[in-house]
Amino acid sequence: MQSSRHFTLRLSCPDRVGIVARVAGFLADAGGWILRSSQHSDPVTGRFYMRVEVDADTLGCDLPMLTKRFAPLADELDMDWRLADSAVRKRIVVLVSRQMHCLYDLLERWRSGELDVEIPCVISNHEDARGLVEWHGIPFHYVPVDKTDKEVAWQALDTLFRDAQADTMVLARYMQILPAWLCEAYAGQILNIHHSFLPSFVGASPYQQAWERGVKQVGATCHYVTADLDQGPIIEQDVTRVTHNDAVKDLVRYGKDIEKAVLARGLRYHLEDRVLISGRRTVVL
Amino acid sequence: MQSSRHFTLRLSCPDRVGIVARVAGFLADAGGWILRSSQHSDPVTGRFYMRVEVDADTLGCDLPMLTKRFAPLADELDMDWRLADSAVRKRIVVLVSRQMHCLYDLLERWRSGELDVEIPCVISNHEDARGLVEWHGIPFHYVPVDKTDKEVAWQALDTLFRDAQADTMVLARYMQILPAWLCEAYAGQILNIHHSFLPSFVGASPYQQAWERGVKQVGATCHYVTADLDQGPIIEQDVTRVTHNDAVKDLVRYGKDIEKAVLARGLRYHLEDRVLISGRRTVVL
Amino acid sequence: MQSSRHFTLRLSCPDRVGIVARVAGFLADAGGWILRSSQHSDPVTGRFYMRVEVDADTLGCDLPMLTKRFAPLADELDMDWRLADSAVRKRIVVLVSRQMHCLYDLLERWRSGELDVEIPCVISNHEDARGLVEWHGIPFHYVPVDKTDKEVAWQALDTLFRDAQADTMVLARYMQILPAWLCEAYAGQILNIHHSFLPSFVGASPYQQAWERGVKQVGATCHYVTADLDQGPIIEQDVTRVTHNDAVKDLVRYGKDIEKAVLARGLRYHLEDRVLISGRRTVVL
Amino acid sequence: MQSSRHFTLRLSCPDRVGIVARVAGFLADAGGWILRSSQHSDPVTGRFYMRVEVDADTLGCDLPMLTKRFAPLADELDMDWRLADSAVRKRIVVLVSRQMHCLYDLLERWRSGELDVEIPCVISNHEDARGLVEWHGIPFHYVPVDKTDKEVAWQALDTLFRDAQADTMVLARYMQILPAWLCEAYAGQILNIHHSFLPSFVGASPYQQAWERGVKQVGATCHYVTADLDQGPIIEQDVTRVTHNDAVKDLVRYGKDIEKAVLARGLRYHLEDRVLISGRRTVVL
């Protein structure tokens, strides 16, 4: 992450000769100093992906103006694109249930400034986290999920998210399955941390499943949420070694450490506009 | 691995009070200096597992005598047990197809003395490896597998294995599925290296599957072969990080390094009598 | 960690024939069900190390009685030994400065019950952590370290530690060097997390040093504190991959995650009486 | 690595606005389809690094012509640069002593086509490797190093390397220290695999040093050789976990696996023109 103010351009488009030249040329003409740039050509899909950080002070214009000027080129090359300003903090809403290791972890990163975002609120289907969240000066909303009518909760969730004007929803060990309509309404905006190395051990009790299968490593996966449970594009994964000596509860314990680290990395990539979705895969530039 | 000659006692039995005391007491009475000992109690199955290395020179008897003396205690405690002599080299038959990275790796370990075994022969369904194997002074057997009648090959394999008086069959990237009867005849004696982090990506083309799912790490698994494809007890696993930049052939390439290392470690554990099978799981002492 | 109440016997002594038999025999005679046992023979030093967890309910006696009965055997075999009761929680005093990632991490583990200890107090040379600590219901002591006379602080620290009747002092990113007399008074009781993969980058600014040397991985080390800075016996270490793209501040950020995990693992090993010091090395049973 | 023929442009120069635009514009004007591109700006040194792979068939010219055309731009921007043709195989000379794990590993990669290079010869100060090397159809040169007059050997080495018209010298566990003049004559062309996680354990017997210090992980480092022993720019590193149970010989054994993998990765990066030296550091694009 750059400290100086920068604009981040993120795009994907059909691959062809000269894209980098056109984009870099546009930025150079605008006087833009490139702080960081990366790109990827996928030979299977024929699609090109690019992310550029430009020093905002070297450009003779603000973000709306840059956006306006870039649009014709974007149209010509049929880009799916976005420009972001590092001075505008992203807003994330965090959802938790009763386990709080990911929440503590995110709060520490937020409080120390490592995670440079606004957290307009934390939402939970339990009251357990209220005290900690409010101590940090963050509003806490208790949204119980009634098994016989979950829709009330989903509507409340949706309203809270909209009211918060948030960009991203982080399921930090939120033990409820969101409805398809919510997943689709916020496609690419909802991150989940799943407590297994996907695609192994989809669904409930992955550590129990892992123990029974006798695997020698357990892991965690940060992915975008889609209507298909645990099938969304993977952003980040990691594993840790276990042995026959470890009971299920030990796997759970090791897993917590991996979950925290993987969610934090995945969220960071997402917030830095480094993640581009490519079907079931992600390009992390 | 100890350098001095030692006897290795490996056992499992229903757990109860006093097993360690009885076993250690037996060995102490025989004057046996314990070089290494480890044990495991599985609270789920109620079974106890133990492995002890005893300095052979400190015992006033040879292996058959020790075996005879230990039998009554083993019977009393209802043990599944085995005594091995480090001076008697294990005999392994290696099976390969066309990819030779695991074979090279095993041959180097064998030649340098790291892998302290006899290799009575290498068997393959292709001729590619003949030269290298024979250069190492090891007999090579070409056993083609006829798609319309594979049984001929399996019979030949079985005969070669028996004639070789081998203990262990190592499928070092052998791209054929052994028949159930062979898997069952040599249960706990056949090791395979599967090119995925099981239980993900069972069966063919695991790297292609992994690429399509967009995982961020790929792995390999060394397991005992059972009649259920890729479902046998796992001995060892490892993974390595990949990115969107890696094509399937890159995953294959990274995977080769993991396969070599995981097979070598799993085989070593097996040869040192450190692996005890517990249902679908292994205890690696 | 076992859930049922257990006594943990930890010992080291000169190696000889029959130690396991004597110890296991003693426990079996007392009716003790062994939940977990591990041992290690160091051929270089000729010393034997052992750790046994015994189900307390299967023993017909309490800890003082068991201690009394075991003493003669311990004397005979010249043991350095200790018996602990899982029902008696360890007491740890945590020291921090301004960085709070390790503190947050420990507090979450403590609050969730994963870290089953008493934390009689947290001590710091800054006021920053007071709010968080006190919110958790833990007393906080501000002990400033005056550069011109640090001894006042060390005396205060010593008094607080004694008054807390604590077993263990955890330097969770405490950025002061303890005096030799304190290190020696609590040898084997003070754990530090050093932000490098020791022995690389001893002393100040290890991440800056790591960046300048251009290493491709950075790490952290949990070790016992001795009078020689960063030279104490290592309990646990880990590393993470970095690239040329990472500035010093990125190394610091990656390092924080490793520090948290390594300190938590090292502390857990210590609290479970699994760590035996052997000169400059540790045996982690 | 791309399968289609491509030209690789590698450059570094003082950073400024518009470099990417100029380079990409030059390539686009030539009709060049960019297969892969990466760049790095080092804010500490103010230097810019770039590597581009261009599909050779899309360019209307051959390498000498492209080189000629690019030169003016390179001069203008004060570049340190190089253009390579994937159709021209690199030539590597491998040096070994008695341990052959890295040699076996490289030979397998070479034979399977993974390592797409010419190996004009293998050189050793021992005869041990001759058979294996010659079996692979590669010339083997025995160049003994006389302790009382090593210069004879270094001259022979230099002559063999020149005669082989090789680009790169790979010290694959070559247990001799090259003289400063040789290191300087081939700066950036000699790769070594050191059997420790540098900067820990410089010099002789790193595994013995590691055991004595009681580290919990051991590693290996692939670096460019400079006149300062084990101080050259690091290309790649990795580590593996060890325990108190592992004797020095076990560390040596684990280390071999890390050495093979790290050397292979570092060599590959080097051969793909991905490594740019930046003082004591490397940029791996």
Indicate which of D2, D98, D107, D108 best probes the interface with B, i.e. most B CBs within 10 Å of its own CB. D108
Radius of gyration of chain B (CA): 20
Report the C-alpha gap between C225 and C187 in whole angstroms.
7
> Residue D84: its pLDDT value, please?
96
For chain D (285 residues), the mean pLDDT of every run of 10, in chain order, is: 81 97 96 95 95 94 95 98 96 98 98 97 98 98 96 98 98 97 97 94 90 95 94 96 95 96 97 96 97
- Chains touching B (at least 3 CB pairs under 8 A) are A, C, D
Q: What is the largest distance, in Å, between two alpha-carbon atoms of chain D?
A: 62
Task: Work out the average pLDDT over B59-74.
Answer: 95
Find the catalytic residue in B105, B230, B250, B257: B230
As a whole number of angstroms, the distance between CA B10 and CA B40 comes to 12
Inter-chain residue contact D215 with C198, CB threshold 8 Å: yes
Residues of chain A where predicted confidence (pLDDT) is lower than 50? 1-2
Q: Judge whether B75 is closer than 8 Å to chain A, CB to CB.
A: no
C32 touches B at CB < 8 Å: yes
Per-residue b or e along D243-265, where b marks 16 or more CB atoms closer than 10 Å to that residue's CB: ebebbeebbbbbbbbbbbbbbbb
- Please answer whether residues B51 and B8 qualify as being in contact, where contact means their C-beta atoms are separated by less than 8 angstroms: yes
Q: Is B82 exposed, middle or buried (0-12, 13-18, 19+ CB in 10 A)?
A: middle
Chain A residues near residue B280 by CB distance under 8 angstroms: 212-214
Give B97-125 pLDDT, tens digit per residue: 999 999 999 999 999 999 999 999 999 99
Nearest-Cα residue of chain A relative to residue D58? A17
pLDDT of residue A2: 43
DSSP letter string over B204-264?
S-HHHHHHHHT-SEEEEEEEE--SSTT-SPEEEEEEEE--TT--HHHHHHHHHHHHHHHHH
Using CA atoms, how far apart are residues A173 and A206, in angstroms rounded to an integer? 13
Annotated active-site residue D230? The verdict is yes
Please tell me which residue in D42, D78, D228, D230 is annotated as part of the active site. Answer: D230
pLDDT of residue B3: 62
Q: Where are the alpha helices (DSSP H) in D146-247?
A: 151-163, 180-185, 206-213
pLDDT for position B60: 84
Burial class (CB in 10 A: 0-12, 13-18, 19+), C46: exposed
Q: Which of A40, A244, A247 sits opposite B283 (nearest CB)?
A: A244
Chains that touch C (3 or more CB pairs under 8 A): A, B, D
Q: Which residue of D has its CA nearest to B35?
A: D245
Q: What is the ipTM of this complex?
A: 0.94
**With contact defined as beta carbons under 8 Å apart, do D272 and D1 qualify?**
yes
β C91-96/C168-171 pair status: parallel
Report whether C129 contacts C122 (CB < 8 A). Answer: yes
Q: Closest CB to A25: pick one of D21, D36, D38.
A: D21
Residue B27: its chain C contacts at CB < 8 A?
21
Q: Which of B36, B132, B253 sits opposite D114 (nearest CB)?
A: B253
A107 in C contact zone (CB under 8 Å)? yes
What is the arrangement of strands in the sheet containing A168-171, beginning at the earlier edge strand?
A140-142, A118-124, A91-96, A168-171, A190-194, A217-224, A234-241
Q: What structural domains does chain B harbor?
A: 6-85 (3.30.70.260), 91-284 (3.40.50.170)
**Closest approach of chain C CAs to the CA of B22, in angstroms?**
7
CB C269 within 8 A of CB C277: no
pLDDT for the residue numbered D81: 98
pLDDT for residue D4? 85
pLDDT of residue D202: 87
**For the residues C95-118, what does the mean pLDDT come to?**
97
The pLDDT tens digits for B227-250 are: 998 899 999 999 999 999 999 999
Tell me if A25 and D24 make a contact (CB, 8 A cut-off).
Answer: yes
Confidence class for position B2, pLDDT limits 50, 70, 90 = very low
Give the integer Cα–Cα distance in Å for A254 and A247. 11
B99 touches chain D (CB under 8 A): yes
Given an 8 Å threshold on Cβ–Cβ distance, is B101 in contact with D108?
Answer: yes
Interface membership of C114 toward A (CB under 8 Å):
yes
Residue A177 tokens, joined = 């399955």
Measured between alpha carbons, how far apart are the two ends of chain C, in Å?
A: 13
Does residue B87 sit in helix, strand or coil?
coil
Task: Please state the rounded mean pLDDT for residues B88-94.
Answer: 97
What does the pLDDT read at residue C1? 41
Residue D273 Rama label (left phi>0; alpha psi -120 to 50; beta): left
Which of B17, B22, B34 lies at the smallest CB-CB distance from C58? Answer: B17
User: What's the confidence (pLDDT) of residue A3?
Assistant: 63
Lookup result for tokens 């100890």? B2
**Is there a contact between A41 and D38 if contact means CB atoms under 8 Å apart?**
no
Give the pLDDT score at B1.
Answer: 41
A165–D contact, CB cutoff 8 A: no
**Disruptive mutation site among A108, A132, A246 for chain C (greatest number of C CBs within 10 Å):** A108
What's the number of CA atoms in the CB half-sphere (13 Å) around residue C114? 23
pLDDT at A1: 41
- Look at residue D16 in the predicted model and tell me its pLDDT: 96
Task: Please give the average per-residue pLDDT across B254-274, as a whole number.
Answer: 97
The nearest CA of chain D is from the CA of B13 a distance in Å of 26
Average the pLDDT over B125-134 and give the result: 98
The answer on pLDDT for C255 being more than 50 is: yes
* pLDDT above 90: residue C268: yes
From the CA of A210, how many Å to the nearest CA of chain B?
9
Question: Nearest to residue C9, comparing CAs of C68, C84, C62?
Answer: C84
